[in-house]
Amino acid sequence: MKPKRFLILFTILALLAPLVASLIPGVALALDRTQTQKVIKTVVKFFAANKSKGKDGGFDVIWTGSGTIISPDGLILTNCHVACSNEQTGNPEDKFDTLIIAMTVKSDQPPQPTYIGEVVQYSLRGSGLDLAVVRIVSTLDGKPVDTAKLNLPYLPLGDSDELEINDTLTIFGYPGIGGDTITATEGKVSGFTSLQGIAGRAWIKTDATIAGGNSGGTAVNDAGELIGVPTQLGCGNESCDYTDCRRLQDTNGDGRIDEKDTCIPTGGFINAVRPINLAKPYIEAAAKGLATPTQPTPPTQPNRPAGKAGVSGMFFAPDVTAQDQPTQVVQSFPTGTKLIVFFFDFANLAAGTPWQVQLTLDGVLQEGLWAMESWSGPADGTSWVSLTGDPLPDGAYEFAIVYDGAVLGSAATSVGGKAQSGPTLSNIVFSGGGQEGNLLPAGIDEIEAVFDYANVNAQTQWSYTWFLDGEEVAGDNGPAFTKSAGQFSLSLTADEGFPAGDYRLELYIAGKLAAASNLSLAGGGSGAGGEGPIGPITFAEGADRNDKPVKPHKAGEAFASGTGEIFGFFDWQGMQDGWPWVSRWYIDGELVIESPGTWAAGASGTGYWLQIYSDSGLPDGEYTLEIAVQGQVVQGGSAVIGKGGVATPTPKPTGDVQVTGYIRDAKTGKGIPGALFLVLQPGITTADFEWTDEEVYAVGEADKTGYFELSALLERGEAYSLLIGAQGYVMISQDGVEVTPDTPDVVEMEIQLQKAR
């Protein structure tokens, strides 16, 4: 009996235009069973191991961690401290030779070691982000893997900026205290943390339990999207004991629990998740086949300073400017305040040393507001952290800086009462040499500072002080204000031109700090025409042993299609070791590599280069290199790969559309075990189908939950006939389902079958 055609009753979560009946409305408020099962299959366990020298040819496990599959061709997102070796971290203790990837099979079974991976993108130490993207490269026995044919389940990326306080987060991973099988914990978003040097949200705070081994794992929002990376932050030295670390489990599988097993934190859970949006540039770069670039410089962090670590100049502000400066300085905050920004100066801080901001509210220590981090900034400078609430409760607030287990300093403020009605000075803006901002060219002979004032009168006493590298260079009492509100301008001049260095302007009202802002001068030259710190960029095909450009290209000269690497060379002057800086590579306007660091190449020099490369060849397009110093863009340039400066479109591949989904009972919503999804060979219609194996192109059989995956990929440009059915249910059939160039690589379907009468 030939099958009949029936109305298609299923919906599709991704675009497959001829099959769309209607979009699934909304999402559940928390992960349901189906979503949980999908997420579980994307969570992996990492084993950082060394190949055993014994006869069995096994592995000696050094440590473990978690990760999330983010693409069907085997890209996995995790923490750098989970997957990066000593070659990437610069830490000799991170040495291992094999990164084993264990796949989650079922929630009640240990993960199955299946693949070997390699890190293809990672955040440099200067960024402090601790992120890495791993690509599957071989099977466990070393056989190369064709990643295009992996078709792994993967988790879509969410938008961490859309998260709100009290949203639900579910954490998946392999914490050591959770045993051999996958563990899930659930909690609420309790807030967000911002930090200087990180654009947007630096951390997602949550009350969901996160323990050792969850590092690098999976934080999922209500829609089942990857929203962040749980990050266990290492201490960096033996004196840090903020977690109770015990060897409780045979983590290396040798049948013994001893010093060779991973030390598992059993207390002091760190409830901090790195937002997924901070990982997206690294994911995009990995997807394009780009490798994390190297640089011909000393380590991005200076050695541990010889002087004693300390903090000073602590104060509070209601907000920060785009240049990471305080809008104004306040002593207290009114009832209803939603944001407090805590500023502090620091000196002699060493990279990799654990530090944390702690808050005491009305004498009670508030746990988990800021995560313990490894210091990744310069040795000296100014930084800030913020505290948010909706609103913050009234009370007495004390902020303390804890560094290497000791309190370096603290400052107090309060929330409560009415808004300040007295005189205010705020929003300092610098200019000089025809430029405006908090980084100006060295050698200019005049610096102008404009600021706002309000609620003042002729009797208001105010003063100002200029500093250079911490030393007072000028200052005086300010003249009487002629209006109650407006703008005022201060000028600082030097006939011989100002040297490169760190400047600061502080404004006071009646002897109390009212506003402050930092300014850096970099570069060279003299007078109003002073030059910036970074010279023009020259693009080349390589660098020789002496770090000189190989085959430099002239402006407008395109690199040949298939070029594997581009180098950007530049000279520099008037820089200072310890200054934060960042390089960014864009392809056709899209950010693909961002490399923050701390300058360590001296005041001036020639031939510094930055690199972007791919072993498989860089894609055609326009490549832009942008360099920022002290948070301000100071140089940029572009190069093109491809003929005529126009990117050659990459043709859509064929045979790369995977179809997965669930087949459910239309009435109960439960999965139908054994239900079949048949795709017929191109050219065979449902009316012609004779039910032979030769006529079937692909088949998917539903498991006990109703989940299925087709056994073969669908080819773009082809049209197929489909049959979906199960015993006791009305069969669905459809002819002429076309797979177009715009069809996503993975199509997820939700199919409902009606009971037969």
- For 354-403, the pLDDT digits (tens) are 888 999 999 999 876 777 777 877 888 899 999 888 789 999 999 999 99
521 and 587 both lie in a single domain:
no
pLDDT mean over 46-59: 76
Q: What is the CATH number of the domain that holds 462?
A: 2.60.40.3930
Q: Is the dihedral of CA 504, 507, 512, 513 positive or negative?
A: negative
Among 213-227, 298-312, 371-385, whose mean pLDDT is lowest? 298-312
| Residue 157 confidence (pLDDT) | 94
| Most confident by average pLDDT, 288-292, 300-304, 526-530 | 288-292
119-133 b/e with 16+ CB inside 10 Å = b?
A: bbbbbbbbbbbbbbb
User: Is the model's pLDDT at 421 over the cut of 50?
Assistant: yes
More confident residue, 489 or 193: 489
Task: Return phi, psi of residue 278, to 5°.
Answer: -70, -20
Q: Is 294 helix (H, G, I), strand (E, B) or coil?
A: coil
196 and 246 both lie in a single domain:
yes
User: How far out from the chain centre does Cα 9 lie?
Assistant: 40
The H-assigned helical ranges of 24-173 are: 33-40, 80-83, 86-89
Q: How confident is the model at residue 319 (pLDDT cuts 50, 70, 90)?
A: very high
Q: How confident is the model at residue 87 (pLDDT cuts 50, 70, 90)?
A: confident
| Residue 213 confidence (pLDDT) | 62
User: Is the model's pLDDT at 7 over the cut of 50?
Assistant: no
CA-to-CA dists, residue 206 to 188, 216, 514, 745, angstroms: 6, 16, 35, 33
Q: Do residues 609 and 569 touch, judged by C-beta distance below 8 A?
A: yes
d(CA 670, CA 354): 50
d(CA 273, CA 191): 11
Supply 290's token pair.
């780009």
User: Is the model's pLDDT at 2 over the cut of 50?
Assistant: no
d(CA 588, CA 210): 39
More confident residue, 268 or 610: 610
Among 290, 397, 309, which Cα is nearest to 351's?
A: 309
User: Is the model's pLDDT at 29 over the cut of 60?
Assistant: no
393 and 457 both lie in a single domain:
no
Q: What is the CATH number of the domain that holds 624?
A: 2.60.40
Q: What is the pLDDT of residues 447-478, one digit of tens each?
A: 999 999 999 999 999 999 999 999 999 999 99
Q: How confident is the model at residue 247 (pLDDT cuts 50, 70, 90)?
A: very low
Q: Do residues 174 and 64 touch, judged by C-beta distance below 8 A?
A: yes
| Most confident by average pLDDT, 285-294, 431-440, 463-472 | 463-472
User: Is the model's pLDDT at 630 over the cut of 60?
Assistant: yes
pLDDT mean over 322-332: 91
Task: Return phi, psi of residue 276, to 5°.
Answer: -65, -30
CA-to-CA dists, residue 583 to 379, 572, 586, 592, 629, angstroms: 20, 14, 10, 11, 9
Q: Running DSSP on this structure, what letter comes out for residue 577? A: T
Residue that is last in its domain, among 619, 645, 671: 645
SS (H, E, C) 478-515: CCCCCCCCEEEEEEEECCCCCCCEEEEEEEEECCEEEE
| Residue 242 confidence (pLDDT) | 31
- Does some domain include residue 532? no
| Residue 125 confidence (pLDDT) | 66
CA-to-CA dists, residue 519 to 323, 469, 495, 502, angstroms: 10, 10, 19, 6
Residue that is last in its domain, among 622, 645, 668: 645
User: How far out from the chain centre does Cα 267 lie?
Assistant: 26
Q: Which residues contact 485 (CB under 8 A, 6 or more apart)?
A: 452, 453, 454, 455, 456
Supply 294's token pair.
């190297």
| Most confident by average pLDDT, 100-109, 383-392, 523-532 | 100-109
| Residue 676 confidence (pLDDT) | 94
73 and 214 both lie in a single domain:
yes
- Does some domain include residue 159? yes
| Residue 306 confidence (pLDDT) | 58
Among 484, 452, 481, 478, which Cα is nearest to 465's?
A: 478
| Residue 39 confidence (pLDDT) | 94
Supply 119's token pair.
């890190």
| Residue 309 confidence (pLDDT) | 92
Task: For 228-292, give the DSSP string.
Answer: EEE-PPP-SSTT--SS-EE--S-TT-SS--STTSPPEE-SS---EEEEGGGTHHHHHHHHTT-BP
- Does some domain include residue 722? yes
d(CA 131, CA 119): 10
d(CA 432, CA 529): 10
Q: Is 40 helix (H, G, I), strand (E, B) or coil?
A: helix
The total number of structural domains that make up the chain: 5
Supply 251's token pair.
């983590």
Beta pairing partners, 568: 539, 610
Q: What is the CATH number of the domain that holds 701?
A: 2.60.40.1120
Q: How confident is the model at residue 420 (pLDDT cuts 50, 70, 90)?
A: confident
d(CA 557, CA 623): 12
Q: What is the CATH number of the domain that holds 393?
A: 2.60.40.10
CA-to-CA dists, residue 488 to 425, 463, 513, angstroms: 10, 12, 17
- Does some domain include residue 304? no
User: Is the model's pLDDT at 254 over the cut of 70?
Assistant: no
According to DSSP, the β-strands at 435-436 and 381-388 are unpaired
| Residue 688 confidence (pLDDT) | 86
- Does some domain include residue 297? no
Residue that is last in its domain, among 645, 674, 700: 645
- Does some domain include residue 298? no
Among 246-250, 412-416, 565-569, 653-657, whose mean pLDDT is lowest? 246-250
| Residue 165 confidence (pLDDT) | 87
pTM of the model as a whole: 0.66
Q: Do residues 453 and 424 touch, judged by C-beta distance below 8 A?
A: yes
pLDDT mean over 616-636: 89
d(CA 179, CA 261): 13
d(CA 609, CA 537): 9
469 and 454 both lie in a single domain:
yes
d(CA 387, CA 371): 13
319 and 259 both lie in a single domain:
no
Instruction: Name the one residue in this structure whose structure tokens are 């960014």.
Output: 584
Instruction: Name the one residue in this structure whose structure tokens are 């942008």.
Output: 626
| Residue 646 confidence (pLDDT) | 41
d(CA 315, CA 411): 7
Q: How confident is the model at residue 407 (pLDDT cuts 50, 70, 90)?
A: very high
Q: Do residues 204 and 192 touch, judged by C-beta distance below 8 A?
A: yes
| Residue 211 confidence (pLDDT) | 63
User: Is the model's pLDDT at 298 over the cut of 80?
Assistant: no
Q: How confident is the model at residue 589 (pLDDT cuts 50, 70, 90)?
A: confident
117 and 185 both lie in a single domain:
yes
- Does some domain include residue 59? yes
User: Is the model's pLDDT at 57 over the cut of 80?
Assistant: no
Q: What is the CATH number of the domain that holds 42?
A: 2.40.10.120
Instruction: Name the one residue in this structure whose structure tokens are 């990066």.
Output: 84
Q: Do residues 508 and 514 touch, judged by C-beta distance below 8 A?
A: yes
| Residue 24 confidence (pLDDT) | 26
SS (H, E, C) 378-394: CCCEEEEEEEECCCCCC
695 and 746 both lie in a single domain:
yes
| Residue 378 confidence (pLDDT) | 81
520 and 614 both lie in a single domain:
no
Quick one: how many helices (H) and strands (E) in the chain?
4, 47
pLDDT mean over 413-423: 90
24 and 35 both lie in a single domain:
no
User: Is the model's pLDDT at 483 over the cut of 70?
Assistant: yes
Q: What is the mean pLDDT of the chain?
A: 82
212 and 314 both lie in a single domain:
no
| Residue 430 confidence (pLDDT) | 94
103 and 230 both lie in a single domain:
yes
Beta pairing partners, 273: 204, 230
d(CA 314, CA 161): 29
- Does some domain include residue 295? no
d(CA 217, CA 229): 6
Q: What is the pLDDT of residues 165-217, one digit of tens each?
A: 889 999 999 876 556 899 888 888 888 888 777 778 888 888 887 766 677 88
Domain that holds residue 602: 538-645
User: Is the model's pLDDT at 594 over the cut of 50?
Assistant: yes
| Residue 728 confidence (pLDDT) | 84
